Amino acid sequence: MVPSWSVARQLLWISITLLLSFAVSCGTKTRVSSQWRSPEYKGGPMHKILVIGVAETSTARRNYEDRFAEALRGRGADAFPSYQFLPTDERLTDEQLAEVLRRDGFDGVLVTRLLGVKEKTTYVPPSSYVVPSYRGGYGYYGYYGRSYDVVHSAGYTRTEKVVRLETRLWNVADSQLAWGIISETFNPTSIKDGTSSVTAKLVQQLAQDGLLAK
């Protein structure tokens, strides 16, 4: 018979494992699903960037632009939310945007738009964990027989909310697309939470791809 201390340890192991699995599955995370960098862009890091968020409400737009600009400034770029220059919530014309970019000396303009929101359901099958349980005192066969105890966790269904965004960075000097990315953010608990996750990931990727100073 397995000693009671071993059973208690098994239960503790199971509890910790399930809690960690739950935290990972429910936590907000952002991943890059596809990206592209223009082979023709040779300008190096961009230093002054205008951030534009295409959103249904002015609140969502301001929240996104503020957080993205802040994240970019944390990487050394001189970044600004577009609502400070273009406060209208109506669709901007090419002339309005071009005037701001020229007048204020921007070398990059970054635009993000929502591609869609969907729910993704995944079945996680049952699994087994091998837990060492030997404490001594059982002889060599006791050591062998009690070296590992196998515990099992039941299968379960996990539903995730996925927010897909497309972000593009344009070179103002020649009006050419320099960089583009599609991101997926999983299980955002709020607009603030989702925005923080995606902006942190995109700024990291921009730096890795040489569009920001490292």
Q: 128 — alpha (psi -120 to 50), left (phi > 0) or beta? A: beta
Residues of the chain with pLDDT under 70: 1-27, 129-152, 214
pLDDT of residue 18: 42
DSSP character at residue 82: G
pLDDT of residue 27: 61
Range of the domain at 86: 4-122+156-208
Number of structural domains found in the chain = 1
The answer to the question of residue 160 being in a domain is: yes
pLDDT of residue 141: 55
pLDDT of residue 59: 87
pLDDT of residue 148: 59
The answer to the question of residue 141 being in a domain is: no
Instruction: Write down the H helix ranges in the chain.
Output: 4-26, 58-73, 94-103, 139-145, 191-208
Query: Which of 207, 182, 173 shows the shortest CA–CA distance to 32?
Result: 182
Query: Using CA atoms, how far apart are residues 46 and 79, in angstroms rounded to an integer?
Result: 10
Q: Which amino acid is at 93?
A: T
CA 104 to chain centre: 31
The answer to the question of residue 25 being in a domain is: yes
Query: Using CA atoms, how far apart are residues 84 and 18, in angstroms rounded to an integer?
Result: 46
Contact 180, 36 (CB under 8 A): yes
Contact 92, 108 (CB under 8 A): no
With 0.75 as the threshold, say if the pTM is over it.
no
Query: Using CA atoms, how far apart are residues 147 and 125, in angstroms rounded to an integer?
Result: 26
The answer to the question of residue 83 being in a domain is: yes
HEC secondary structure over 9-58:
HHHHHHHHHHHHHHHHHHCCEEEEEEEEECCCCCCCCCCEEEEEEECCCH
User: How many CB atoms are closer than 10 A to CB 46?
Assistant: 27
The answer to the question of residue 117 being in a domain is: yes
pLDDT of residue 137: 53
| Cα angle value 199/67/94 (rounded, 5°) | 90
The answer to the question of residue 185 being in a domain is: yes
Q: What is the CATH number of the domain that holds 16?
A: 3.40.50
Residue 212, judged by CB atoms within 10 A of its CB (0-12, 13-18, 19+), counts as buried
The pLDDT tens digits of the residues spanning 24-75 come to 445 688 999 999 999 999 888 999 999 999 887 888 899 999 999 999 999 9
Helix (H, G, I), strand (E, B) or coil at 182: strand
pLDDT of residue 183: 93
The answer to the question of residue 128 being in a domain is: no
